[in-house]
């Protein structure tokens, strides 16, 4: 019941059938899009603008007034104006006293100003209750209704009632509010839209660096060396053979790096004798990108599987097999079946299959949509980490740590080690 009531538009106390009026300052792209969407959702909207005339771009049914007049009509004022133009708001301090001011602004650069835009607004208009919201939703998405990528709206503010009012509006618009706490969180929320996959940078650079190093190593060993010393040209190895050798090695190194910080964290906690002190910054950052490291490792393992599956249809492999058979015929000999090789070959393939299966299981359960559908115990059953046994494992890392990593790593390690003897990677 409680939830339903917050989804409904708040009706004003004086006239129960009249929907709540919301004031929007600024008739720019974002102000108009938000006004239009809110009007569709049943709110009564009034614009506060420097010019009180109506333009054809303003949605029908919305009044455009001066800032002061518009502010008087509503308890919630959404400030859809760039931060650089906030100055004039200090003159409206009296009208805005006690009202909820919603800051939707974004910056052009990360940490552009010393304080967040929302905190700056709170300083300019001391009597108002400032709430940060909507900055992660684009005007275009609001207008076109394509909100798939940005349905989440981060909300923060010092006044919990004001925050709840804004979250009610967010829900009514069909979006999902995420309470981020006090106004101190505004800076992080403002930086959020400017970040480009921050947690993916390290894993991707690392895997590319490792791949490049291993590629040149294999190139020298397997292509250049035979060419120089045996005059054998196998340059086509760079297309499948060498990548198929690189992929499992990078996957296993990355997988080890997923597991390692948890072990280091556990050692640090044991050494300090407490789980309540902060980890060093490098470890914190490392722990925060474990999920991404794991997913990149999974991608490499997946590539290895694909490269391996095409082995039987490769010309080079078929030629090698044929010439081996022909040489047996020419010499009139039959190589006996080797049971131990049979066991060896099947068991390393089986280890690879099982390891890959568990790896996929880990990857799938780390997806938010899946992990939201299992309870904490179920999640722990699939994914665990020694640092969790001891408690706090760095900020927000609980869902990204990998527990069965050890099992997967062991299986894949055995698969790779056995590979040295009977290999699909040696062709
Ligand atoms: N566009 C988007 O997709 C998104 C925008 N935002 C944020 O919303 C805010 C508005 O963005 P957007 O609508 O794109 O910007 P626009 O430039 O389209 O509009 C800004 C509006 O601010 C008002 N304004 C401009 N200068 C002044 C001034 N000197 N004094 C008072 N008011 C002024 C004007 O309204 P008027 O003429 O009515 O006075 C103008 O239309 C920004 O802070 C932006 O960061 C946040 C998320 C997404
Ligand atoms: Fe393999």
The residue whose C-alpha atom lies closest to atom 31 belonging to ligand 1 is: 85
**Ligand 1 within 6 A of CB of 80:** yes
Determine the CATH number of domain 2-194: 3.40.50.720
Q: In what order do the strands lie in the sheet with 21-25?
A: 63-65, 44-48, 21-25, 76-79, 100-103, 129-132, 152-157, 176-179
**Ligand 1 within 6 A of CB of 35:** no
Q: How far is the CA of 249 from the centre of ligand 2 (A)?
A: 9
At 197, list the tokens: 């996959």
Q: d(Cα 48, Cα 76) in Å, to the nearest integer?
A: 12
Ligand 1 atom with the shortest distance to the CA of 141:
3
**Ligand 1 within 6 A of CB of 49:** yes
pTM for the full predicted model: 0.63
Predicted ipTM? Answer: 0.95
pLDDT above 90 covers a percentage of the chain that reads: 53
Q: How far is the CA of 148 from the centre of ligand 1 (A)?
A: 24
Ligand 1 atom with the shortest distance to the CA of 142:
3
**Ligand 1 within 6 A of CB of 30:** yes
Condensed to tens digits (0 to 9), the pLDDT of residues 246-277 reads: 999 999 999 889 889 888 988 998 988 887 88
Condensed to tens digits (0 to 9), the pLDDT of residues 66-92 reads: 999 999 999 999 999 999 999 999 999
Q: Name which of 283, 294, 256 is nearest 392 in CA terms.
A: 283
Q: d(Cα 214, Cα 222) in Å, to the nearest integer?
A: 12
Ligand 1 atom with the shortest distance to the CA of 31:
13
Q: d(Cα 381, Cα 375) in Å, to the nearest integer?
A: 10
Q: d(Cα 225, Cα 237) in Å, to the nearest integer?
A: 13
In contact, 269 and 390? CB cutoff 8 Å: yes
Q: d(Cα 403, Cα 115) in Å, to the nearest integer?
A: 40
Positions of E strands within 74-164: 76-79, 100-103, 129-132, 152-157
Ligand nearest the Cα of residue 27 is 1
Q: How far is the CA of 352 from the centre of ligand 2 (A)?
A: 6
The residue whose C-alpha atom lies closest to atom 7 belonging to ligand 1 is: 105
Between these two residues, 117 and 60, which has the higher pLDDT value? 117
Q: Name which of 279, 298, 110 is nearest 203 in CA terms.
A: 298
Q: How far is the CA of 176 from the centre of ligand 1 (A)?
A: 23
Domain range summary for the chain, segments of one domain joined by +: 2-194, 198-419
**Residue whose structure tokens are 């010092």:** 158
> What H or E segment, with its residue span, contains residue 24?
strand 21-25
Query: Mind giving me the DSSP string for 204-223?
Result: HHHHHHHHHHHHHHHIIIII
Ligand 1 atom with the shortest distance to the CA of 47:
38
Q: Name which of 265, 355, 267 is nearest 304 in CA terms.
A: 355
Ligand nearest the Cα of residue 137 is 1
What is the structure's pLDDT at 235?
95
Condensed to tens digits (0 to 9), the pLDDT of residues 317-346 reads: 999 999 999 999 999 999 899 999 899 888
């Amino acid at each position: 019941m409680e939830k339903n009531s917050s989804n409904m538009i708040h009706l004003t106390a004086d006239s129960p059938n009249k929907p709540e009026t919301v004031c929007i300052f600024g008739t720019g792209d974002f102000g108009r899009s938000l006004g239009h969407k809110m009007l569709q959702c049943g709110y009564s909207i009034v614009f506060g603008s420097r010019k009180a005339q109506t333009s054809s771009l303003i949605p029908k049914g919305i009044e455009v007034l001066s800032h002061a007049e518009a502010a008087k009509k509503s308890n919630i004022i959404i400030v859809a104006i760039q931060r650089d133009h906030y100055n004039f708001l200090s003159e409206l301090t009296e009208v805005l006293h006690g009202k909820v001011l919603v800051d939707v602004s974004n910056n052009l650069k990360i940490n552009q100003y010393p304080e967040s835009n929302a905190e700056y607004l709170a300083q300019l208009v001391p009597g108002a209750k400032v709430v940060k919201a909507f900055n992660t939703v684009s005007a275009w998405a609001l207008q076109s209704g394509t909100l798939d990528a940005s349905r989440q709206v981060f909300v923060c503010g010092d006044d919990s009632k004001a925050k709840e009012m804004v979250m009610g509006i967010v829900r009514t618009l069909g979006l999902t509010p995420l309470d981020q706490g006090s106004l101190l969180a505004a800076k992080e929320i403002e930086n959020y839209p400017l970040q480009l996959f921050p947690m993916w940078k390290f894993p991707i650079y690392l895997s590319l660096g490792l791949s490049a190093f291993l590629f040149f190593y294999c190139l020298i060993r397997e292509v250049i060396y035979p060419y120089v010393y045996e005059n054998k040209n196998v340059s086509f190895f760079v297309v499948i053979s060498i990548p198929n050798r690189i992929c499992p090695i990078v996957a296993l190194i990355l997988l080890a790096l997923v597991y390692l910080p948890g072990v280091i964290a556990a050692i640090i906690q044991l050494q300090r004798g407490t789980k309540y002190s902060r980890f060093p910054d490098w470890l914190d950052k490392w722990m925060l990108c474990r999920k991404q490291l794991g997913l990149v490792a999974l991608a490499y393992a997946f590539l290895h599987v694909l490269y391996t599956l095409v082995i039987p249809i490769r010309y080079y492999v078929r030629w090698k097999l044929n010439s081996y058979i022909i040489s047996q015929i020419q010499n009139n000999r039959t190589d006996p079946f080797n049971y131990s090789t049979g066991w060896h070959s099947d068991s390393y393939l089986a280890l690879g299959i099982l390891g890959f299966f568990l790896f996929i299981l880990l990857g799938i359960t780390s997806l938010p949509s899946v992990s939201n559908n299992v309870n904490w115990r179920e999640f722990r059953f699939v994914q665990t980490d020694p640092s969790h046994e001891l408690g706090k494992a760095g900020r927000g890392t609980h869902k990204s740590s990998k527990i069965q990593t050890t099992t997967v790593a062991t299986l894949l390690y055995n698969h790779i080690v056995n590979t040295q003897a009977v290999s699909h990677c040696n062709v």
